[in-house]
Structure 1
Amino acid sequence: MSDEKPTPPPPSSAAPAPTRERDPIEHTAGTGGRAAATLREISTGNFGVTVLAFVLALVIGAILIIAVDDDVADAAGYIFARPSDFFGAAWSAVSDAYTALFRGAVLNYQADTFAGAIRPFTETLTVATPLIIAALGVAVGFRAGLFNIGAQGQVIMGAMIAGFVGFTWNLPVGVHLLVALLGGIIAGGLWAGIAGFLKARTGAHEVIVTIMLNYVALYLLQYALTTSVFSTGNQPKSPSVASSAQLPLILGDQFRLNAGFIVAILAAIFVWWLMTRSTIGFRFRAVGSNAHAARTAGMSVTATFVLVMVVSGALAGLAGATQLLGTEKFLTDGIAGSLGFDAITVALLGRSKPAGIFLAGILYGGLNVGGRVMEVATGTPIDIVLVIQSLVVLFIAAPPLVRAIFRLPAPTTKEVAA
């Protein structure tokens, strides 16, 4: 055998392949892959972790209730002499507060009439209705890997256009309501479509654009309420929508629950069908899972981004329309409240699934309604409820923390994909 080494081949004289310039969408999809993966992890956590997160939030809320209660503070002064007084006062403070929360949100068992007993739950459903619809819109964006933080502005635009149709147009009963709702849907969809278009054409991040559009929508509403078309006089308040454009009450005049709740149920069914049974929904989920793979499979990622934002905004606009036509009846600069931001919380709490969002919306609405009763009945600050809501979101966004606290095993691949 010869020890002579083989001569390496001569370097190729061929010119290097030209590099292809990356388009803005590819660039943002690549850099945002980690963020999209994090969002999917948060929104698809195990159901048991969600329940435990809520329980943990209630426990911490109980500690805060104890900390701010005057009777507990008095008993703490002689805790070593009579510890039973301290623990009895602490138990009374927590049980009274959470009992009042239940009576204000679910069932007032102290009421003299059946109507009075179920009124709290009807109020919970009334408050939950626009929350559910708006959260469904936010969830559509989440499932497609987009952060639609602009639901607040889309709710405002939906309420504005629905209100304009409701108090300026003269249409037959039934038709007037449908046109007003459709106006809210179109307004919200177009408003969110701006962010989708800018992302598709320039790669502008949807979070920044939608946040800015929130401010634009708010100041646009405030300006509109100073004009003769939207204002009734010196106060920033619009005329009331015509009765033909109002969502009818479901249980009669003694309750505020209106047909918007039925709209919320239909919206949840629609989103379920869209995301699990339609070709468009498959495109949404494919782009949200891996935009590069979706592009390789022949899907138009840019068009999908625009369509996702339009659908997401349309649902948020519908939420604003139901809020106005069903509950408020007239426009003010606080028509949206914190509805758009709360919808993000509800979407996360519901794991971006229609059924989960529906239940989470009712839970969130119950906390809002019951918290006010808790404050009046026991003197517990309403801020405690806000803290509980914030803690729920915190723990939902950190499943490993909840698993570590309760010493739960890590989720399997099948559980995460469920």
Structure 2
Amino acid sequence: MKINRFFPIISPLIAVFLALIVGAVLILIAGANPITAYTALFTESLSTYFGFGNTLTKMAPLLLTSTGVLIALKAGQFNIGGEGQIYFGALGSALVGLYVKAPGFIHVPLAILAGFIFGAVWGFIPGYLKAMRGINEVITTLLLNYIAIDLISYLVQNPLKEANAPSPYSPLIAKSAQLPIVISGSLAHGGILIALIGALIVYIIIKRSTLGYRITAVGLNQKASNYAGISVQRTIMLVMAASGGFAGLAGASEVMGLKYRLFEQVSPGYGFDAIAIAFLSRGSVLGLVLSSLFFGALRSGANVMQRSAGAPVTVIYAIQGLTVLFIAIALALEPRLRT
């Protein structure tokens, strides 16, 4: 039986649907009404003014980081280090926001660039180790997460800590380095525009450029790429640096658009959610946008769901995990359906 050509498109929808069904069962077990819970969840996160703004706020770092994961996947590399790269990007933008004096039209781009560069450096390290030393990037990116998180924790508890602060965080960055609010009266800031522009740029590169062709070729067959004159090592280092750079932009958007300072807990797990989003998208940039919106809506409406329906917030994390599980099952079944 030949696989239906629409299966790659519908399989993420099926995965989400099944995850919501199982989530409804979990809500019932918790003693709440799943219809009431889901109504509160999606009404708050998608149809209310402030709630939708909050969804976009959470969508921005998810889309940026998952875009980075997708770039690496296109070259056959698995970047599990988005969380640490978010922290490093946040550090870069915070340093520029704190110690560089410039007008806003210069300060904001500089802080954004710093976030990208810091994240790119943190992504380049495992890329170099993989390309030049053959060290598995899954292991190195995962371990570098903890180094980045602990380093930021040390910095905000010591040299970067604001005087007399009740908890570890830096002073406020300069107003000239802060991203503008894009939906008045909400939390939605310019980071969502950066994320959408970044996703568009990646789409153009992957689909319309020779660089995108090289990246895809390396991901499909490294030996054939070498034979065709494509430098596999250089491509691996490039995509891992770019992947880290996009995650760094996510950290920069959190500092510049939401918190305006460097906190000990920069990310609530966006780097790990981004892996799920990248797989759920099935390699499509449009899929990244929609999946990021879905995950952002889940995070945005979770607390309202708990208050309105009595459904525990942990159900949201279960739904996210189940979505990944079902899309993984679909990916495993797809080759069999082709025969």
Instruction: Tell me, yes or no, whether TM beats 0.5.
Output: yes
1:338 aligns with 2:269: yes
1:120-269 alignment to 2 at 5 Å?
Answer: 120-234=51-165, 235-252=167-184, 254-269=185-200
1:288-367 alignment to 2 at 5 Å?
Answer: 288-367=219-298
Is the CA contact 2:49–2:186 (under 8 Å) kept in the aligned structure 1?
no
CA 400–167 in structure 1, closer or farther in 2 if over 3 Å, else same? closer
Question: Once the 2 structures are TM-superposed, how far is the Cα of residue 326 of structure 1 from its aligned partner?
Answer: 0.6
CA 248–371 in structure 1, closer or farther in 2 if over 3 Å, else same? same
Residues 248-287 of structure 1, C-alpha deviations (whole Å, 9 max, x = no match): 01122x1111111111110011110111111111111101
Question: Once the 2 structures are TM-superposed, how far is the Cα of residue 191 of structure 1 from its aligned partner?
Answer: 0.9
Equivalent-residue separation in structure 1 for 2:169 and 2:16 (angstroms): 38
Equivalent-residue separation in structure 1 for 2:331 and 2:81 (angstroms): 28
CA 356–216 in structure 1, closer or farther in 2 if over 3 Å, else same? same
Is the CA contact 1:46–1:411 (under 8 Å) kept in the aligned structure 2?
no
Greater helix share, structure number: 2
Query: TM-score under structure 1 normalisation?
Result: 0.77
Residues 279-299 of structure 1, C-alpha deviations (whole Å, 9 max, x = no match): 111111101000011011111
Equivalent-residue separation in structure 2 for 1:48 and 1:392 (angstroms): 13
1:105 aligns with 2:16: no
Residues 63-109 of structure 1, C-alpha deviations (whole Å, 9 max, x = no match): 11111107xxxxxxxxxxxxxxxxxxxxxx121111111222112xx
Amino acid corresponding to residue 207 of structure 2 in structure 1: T
Amino acid corresponding to residue 10 of structure 2 in structure 1: G
Question: Once the 2 structures are TM-superposed, how far is the Cα of residue 160 of structure 1 from its aligned partner?
Answer: 0.6
Is the CA contact 1:53–1:402 (under 8 Å) kept in the aligned structure 2?
no
Unpaired segments of 5 or more residues in structure 1?
A: 1-43, 71-92, 108-116, 404-408, 414-418
Equivalent-residue separation in structure 2 for 1:308 and 1:106 (angstroms): 34
Is the CA contact 2:171–2:261 (under 8 Å) kept in the aligned structure 1?
yes
Among 25, 30, 39, the residue aligned to 1:68: 30
Q: Which has the higher contact order (CA 8 A, sep 6+)?
A: 2
Equivalent-residue separation in structure 2 for 1:216 and 1:410 (angstroms): 41
SS of the equivalent of 1:106 reads helix
Residues 155-203 of structure 1, C-alpha deviations (whole Å, 9 max, x = no match): 1000011011112211111100100000000001111101111112110
Equivalent-residue separation in structure 2 for 1:208 and 1:400 (angstroms): 23
Question: Once the 2 structures are TM-superposed, how far is the Cα of residue 204 of structure 1 from its aligned partner?
Answer: 0.5
Question: Once the 2 structures are TM-superposed, how far is the Cα of residue 378 of structure 1 from its aligned partner?
Answer: 1.2
Equivalent-residue separation in structure 1 for 2:269 and 2:332 (angstroms): 28
Amino acid corresponding to residue 63 of structure 1 in structure 2: V
Equivalent-residue separation in structure 2 for 1:332 and 1:163 (angstroms): 10
Equivalent-residue separation in structure 1 for 2:84 and 2:332 (angstroms): 33
What residue number does 1:277 align with? Answer: 208
CA 400–136 in structure 1, closer or farther in 2 if over 3 Å, else same? closer
Is the CA contact 1:102–1:370 (under 8 Å) kept in the aligned structure 2?
yes
1:47 aligns with 2:9: yes
Is the CA contact 1:225–1:237 (under 8 Å) kept in the aligned structure 2?
yes
Amino acid corresponding to residue 101 of structure 1 in structure 2: L
Runs of 4+ in 1 over 2 A off after TM superposition: 226-235, 400-403, 409-413
What residue number does 2:3 align with? Answer: none
Equivalent-residue separation in structure 2 for 1:45 and 1:335 (angstroms): 37
Unpaired segments of 5 or more residues in structure 2?
A: 1-5
Amino acid corresponding to residue 52 of structure 1 in structure 2: I
Amino acid corresponding to residue 355 of structure 1 in structure 2: L
SS of the equivalent of 2:163 reads coil
Amino acid corresponding to residue 232 of structure 1 in structure 2: A
Amino acid corresponding to residue 209 of structure 2 in structure 1: S
Question: Once the 2 structures are TM-superposed, how far is the Cα of residue 227 of structure 1 from its aligned partner?
Answer: 2.7
Residues 316-370 of structure 1, C-alpha deviations (whole Å, 9 max, x = no match): 1111101110111111111122011111111111123211101100000001111
Equivalent-residue separation in structure 2 for 1:291 and 1:236 (angstroms): 46
Among 383, 392, 398, the residue aligned to 2:314: 383
Amino acid corresponding to residue 372 of structure 1 in structure 2: N
Residues 117-166 of structure 1, C-alpha deviations (whole Å, 9 max, x = no match): 32211111111011101100000011110000011111100001101111
Aligned length: 333
Equivalent-residue separation in structure 2 for 1:323 and 1:279 (angstroms): 33
Question: Once the 2 structures are TM-superposed, how far is the Cα of residue 225 of structure 1 from its aligned partner?
Answer: 1.1
